[in-house]
Structure 1
């Protein structure tokens, strides 16, 4: 096994920090490292075997050739698997159990930067797993408690827990899986210097000033001033969005640190468009016969800077009835529900029915496991959906017009497209290759759920593309290895229905 006696740089640094700030966690952290490495290596192997990386050629299941002639080999890949089934990958006869060292050994352009991120991803994941309480049988009753269950982060991104801008103390203080209470800052800004969209609440005003909620990491590291003491909150999955305590509104803050793939600030354009997008989302949901709700953005403001901005949103629990639960799709695998094929088929039928209906109208949701939530009955049946964060949807003016749906003035230009491929990529890549695949946990389970759901869905060209063509998904690792290429890059995965009769 190619593992030198010393640990990776991030492992060594994390262990030293942990010994200083939380020494009691050090034994569990050390014990969790092998599993965390395997989890990240599994995600990396998926990328190596299915993304169009220009320096790799595929030679068969589990065998690849590097452009310089070296051979990579590993398990036959399942691009929809979520268990850490890859423990070793071999490069020219040398075995690697560490994704960062494998990426370093490959020696490809920009690989050294990605290797640093993979190192962070594995140690942050080990830290996250080490700090978990015993599993509780009772389901959570708060938004933050559901979202803290998503310990491993993104099910397919090798940088699922990469937080290179965060120290160990920062992660323990601010990361949702560690369940901290966070004291937000309030930054006073003259109202005349702010762009406001929607209604900014009176309790966040002080005379002629707006009080903008600020994440404490942002206040310390970017703004360099703490602001006034603000409300307590609990972080949600995106880390920069928090649930205000006592349980109520969600506040999305700027956070200028690279997490997973991108820096988490809030553009001035997003603030400007928030009210029109929120109203559009409400009108859209009204066309789904009650099967979809879109959380409203109540107010948004920025001091004309992505480094100092905030959005206030209603909680998805606003759409739960008595005895019902609202669960982020990313948290579903922490319950017993997806293990029931009939339940999984019913959930796929609901989610695809809503997603395809909106796509026909002209709106492609980015319905991944963080944005999409499901309302469950008291006994766990999927009843309807809740969607949050409309910033990255795609909207077809032509399709809207064909259905007599007006396009509101002020919609961001970047989300408008009549490109059918772009629309289908947005929905299928997020909902099927993301939310449904991550819930199913394997290609076989996903294929069975889709096969059971598809006969009940309305026929049309979008459904035909889903059933007959390879499944699009973002090429997440290619994007990290292509820093000069803006925007999303894509690949295709084998259609999970290919070996499952409809």
Structure 2
């Protein structure tokens, strides 16, 4: 039974009021946006350990899922590493579905109604994001925020790639990076004695004994529900809640909204640990043979709640030398570089070499396409990596101790000696995430990985990468598990086997 879903119509109605010149383009983009979200959902349905799927198997020209209630779901043979939208429809018993939200609603699985609403919003917002793009983007942007704003489609594998519940059309156009706005951050004064401050909080963000905390305008309007003082003009980056200020500083703001999967607030423990993690990042970079730079945290502040906090970080562009460019790995797909198999193999060798070296030392990076950046030479060759935001790494005290690396006082949630947890963190983010998203298909990923792994030192971690299924976060299962804590995982076919 098709149930009414409203996000597409609501966006169309709002768009006709605030940007009528985009209405026709939005309508034209909707079918492709639905297919993009449906392709991501099909990846989850065919590979994640969903409790209501009894079995999966090849069937004719595709694959059939047998559900525990007796129904059958049939669709194309899946490529779990594909970034192109190749799934335009699937069949639930004899009924075809081309809208992912309607499919999820009619599956009628536990907690599926909420996910269906998010999928509806994801497809509508994705169409809106694509509708607002210029016809011919500049091939090589001059600024860091222009690179970030080229990532229009969001997460390459998450069905909620563009879900922004709570954001109106006007707010998306005014605040979302792919629409290239200038955003006015508020500054909320908080007495210094009421704040936790780490690092050097800049003089221009102080007013006598008061700290001026940068606040995202959405947060001010919807969470703090208060006007903010005269603020800072900034360019929104890929994560939406992080913005580039004039100069070489990025500011991460609290944004208590669910974007993709997570609520983007800033916890008090993360502010407290920020400078310790920053110093630890410098230690890691020093052991990378000059192949990795970790952006420094300059300062962090909170009033004691996750709703009012900010972190200032060094811009990755500070890591680029003369003639070099630094861009997020997620933005590589907007260039012609990954279409060269030799370039992609060289990038895979660089990224895997650095990631495995740090894993051997005892640190698993969450090296997805947003956190991991690449420095390109003047000819476009990948020469170094940049990593930002250490909040979700995993650290093994036992491995660090074996290599004589002092173990800093880190938040308990990132400390583990569990080898499975360490490998999942790195392989799931780097190989199944950043490298797969850049390659765009299983065949291209395999062609990039095979020459890279032949040249890397033979370690137990590399052996595990080559011999076992590839871990990836079960993103859809996690959205269907409300109240769950921690990551849930799926296994993908290993492109190296």
Q: TM-score range by the shorter chain?
A: over 0.9
Report SS of the residue matched to 1:164: coil
Report SS of the residue matched to 1:288: coil
Q: CA deviation at 1:221?
A: 0.9
Counterpart mapping for 1:3-18 below 5 A: 8-18=5-15
Report SS of the residue matched to 1:273: helix
Normalising by structure 1, we get a TM-score of 0.97
Cα distance in 1 for residues equivalent to 2:104 and 2:225 = 36
Cα distance in 2 for residues equivalent to 1:347 and 1:260 = 27
Counterpart mapping for 1:81-480 below 5 A: 81-244=82-245, 246-408=246-408, 410-480=409-479
Cα distance in 1 for residues equivalent to 2:56 and 2:392 = 36
- State the superposition RMSD in angstroms: 1.0
Cα distance in 2 for residues equivalent to 1:471 and 1:337 = 25
Q: CA deviation at 1:3?
A: 7.2
Contact 1:216 1:226 (8 Å CA) reproduced: no
1:429-470 CA-partner distances (Å, limit 9, x unpaired): 000000000000000100111001001101110000000000
Asked if 1:55 is matched to 2:52, the reply is yes
The match for 2:495 is: 496
Cα distance in 2 for residues equivalent to 1:302 and 1:141 = 33
Runs of 4 or more consecutive aligned structure 1 residues displaced over 2 Å after TM superposition: 135-138
Contact 2:396 2:417 (8 Å CA) reproduced: yes
1:294-345 CA-partner distances (Å, limit 9, x unpaired): 0000000000010000000010000101111101000000000000000000
1:385-433 CA-partner distances (Å, limit 9, x unpaired): 000000000000000000000001x311110000000000000000000
Cα distance in 1 for residues equivalent to 2:54 and 2:291 = 44
Contact 2:46 2:56 (8 Å CA) reproduced: no
Cα distance in 2 for residues equivalent to 1:108 and 1:414 = 31
Cα distance in 1 for residues equivalent to 2:95 and 2:247 = 52
Contact 2:248 2:318 (8 Å CA) reproduced: no
1:231-279 CA-partner distances (Å, limit 9, x unpaired): 10010011000001x3421000000111100111000000000000000
Contact 2:139 2:335 (8 Å CA) reproduced: no
Cα distance in 2 for residues equivalent to 1:196 and 1:413 = 21
Cα distance in 2 for residues equivalent to 1:24 and 1:215 = 28
Cα distance in 1 for residues equivalent to 2:385 and 2:405 = 22
The match for 2:23 is: 26
Identify which range, 62-71 or 342-351, moves more after superposition. 62-71
Contact 2:182 2:233 (8 Å CA) reproduced: yes
Cα distance in 1 for residues equivalent to 2:448 and 2:8 = 39
Contact 1:142 1:247 (8 Å CA) reproduced: no
**Structure 2 unmatched ranges of 5 or more:** none
Contact 1:255 1:264 (8 Å CA) reproduced: yes
Contact 1:49 1:58 (8 Å CA) reproduced: no
Q: CA deviation at 1:98?
A: 0.1
Cα distance in 1 for residues equivalent to 2:134 and 2:89 = 29
1:346-365 CA-partner distances (Å, limit 9, x unpaired): 00000000000000000000
Report SS of the residue matched to 1:90: strand
